[in-house]
Amino acid sequence: MADLLVVDDDPDLREVLADILGGLGHKVRIACNGEEGLELLDEELPDLVLLDVEMPALDGPGMAYRMLVTNLGKEKIPILLLSGVIDLHLVAAKVGTPYFLGKPYAFEALVPMLERALAERTAPHPQGELAAKSESPPTGVAAQRLRS
Q: What pLDDT digit, counting tens, does each position of 4-41 carry?
A: 999 999 999 999 999 999 999 999 999 999 999 999 99
Higher pLDDT, 93 or 138: 93
- Say what the pLDDT of residue 114 is: 97
Q: Taking residues 117-127, what's their average pLDDT?
A: 93
| pLDDT tier at 116, thresholds 50, 70, 90 | very high
Task: Look up the pTM and report it.
Answer: 0.85
With 80 as the cut, is the pLDDT of residue 131 above it? no
Average pLDDT over the chain, rounded to whole? Answer: 88
Rounded-to-integer distance, Cα 89 and Cα 47, Å: 22
- The mean per-residue pLDDT over the stretch 117-138 comes to 71
Say how many Å lie between the first and final Cα of the chain, rounded. 34
Domains of the chain: total: 1
CB 115, CB 101: distance < 8 Å: no
- Rounded mean pLDDT of 66-87? 92
Domain membership of residue 140 as a residue range: 3-147
Mean pLDDT confidence for 56-83: 92
Please choose, from the candidates 41, 68, 52, 45, the residue with its C-alpha nearest in 3D space to the C-alpha of residue 7. Answer: 52
CA 38 from chain centre, in angstroms, equals 10
Instruction: Tell me: pLDDT of 90 over 60.
Output: yes
Output the domain CATH number for residue 87.
3.40.50.2300
What letter would DSSP give residue 100?
A: E
